[in-house]
């Protein structure tokens, strides 16, 4: 596994993957803060597209990522992660919305757990998922980071503050 860091407005993000796909984005703080494993190799080379697209995202010039991803997880978790990628830039959806979309409306807590284990945040936009009351709840990078990402998207979106249902 290769890794490198990317300096962003929310801090240095850890990027990890191989020559084929991105496997992990780690936040600089919060419960999803990650450190490279001892056997990982530092190299920026495999992450040219990732770094370029994340930089464009933080510059407000990219609203949809086109990267090869390989998130780890169970079949249910991957189903949730696939659904998260359908939430448009600048919009939000609730955990209940996601549960309904995957055909399991009673799985709200399981959706929350899968969302919280997202190994590739920002690119798989778990920050766009909010509580049913509209509150910002739970985020592996910390709630201030979630708020900053949502504010960034709303400032650069042509349809700000739209809540998906």
3-state secondary structure 50-80: HHHHHHHHHCCCCCCCCCCECCCCCHHHHHH
Beta bridge partners of 33: 27
46 neighbors 159 (Cβ within 8 angstroms): no
Name the catalytic one among 24, 124, 126, 129: 126
Active site residue 126: yes
CB-count burial class (<10 Å; 0-12, 13-18, 19+) for 5: middle
Q: What is the radius of gyration, based on Cα positions, of the chain? A: 15
Query: Active-site residue numbers?
Result: 126
């Amino acid at each position: 596994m290769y890794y490198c860091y990317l300096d962003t407005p929310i801090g240095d993000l850890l990027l990890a993957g191989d020559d084929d796909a991105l496997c992990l984005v780690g936040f600089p703080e919060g419960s999803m803060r990650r450190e490279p494993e001892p056997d990982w190799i530092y190299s920026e080379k495999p992450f040219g597209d990732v770094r370029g697209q994340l930089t464009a995202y933080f510059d407000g010039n990219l609203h949809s990522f086109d990267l090869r991803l390989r998130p780890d997880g169970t079949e249910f978790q991957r189903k949730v992660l696939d659904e998260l990628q359908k939430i448009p830039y600048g919009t939000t959806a609730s955990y209940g919305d996601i549960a309904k979309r995957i055909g399991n409306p009673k799985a709200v807590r399981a959706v929350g757990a899968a969302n919280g284990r997202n190994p590739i945040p920002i690119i798989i936009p778990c920050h766009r998922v909010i509580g049913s009351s509209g509150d910002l709840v739970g985020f592996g990078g910390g709630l201030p980071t979630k708020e900053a990402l949502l504010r960034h998207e709303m400032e650069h979106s042509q349809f700000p503050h739209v809540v998906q249902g």
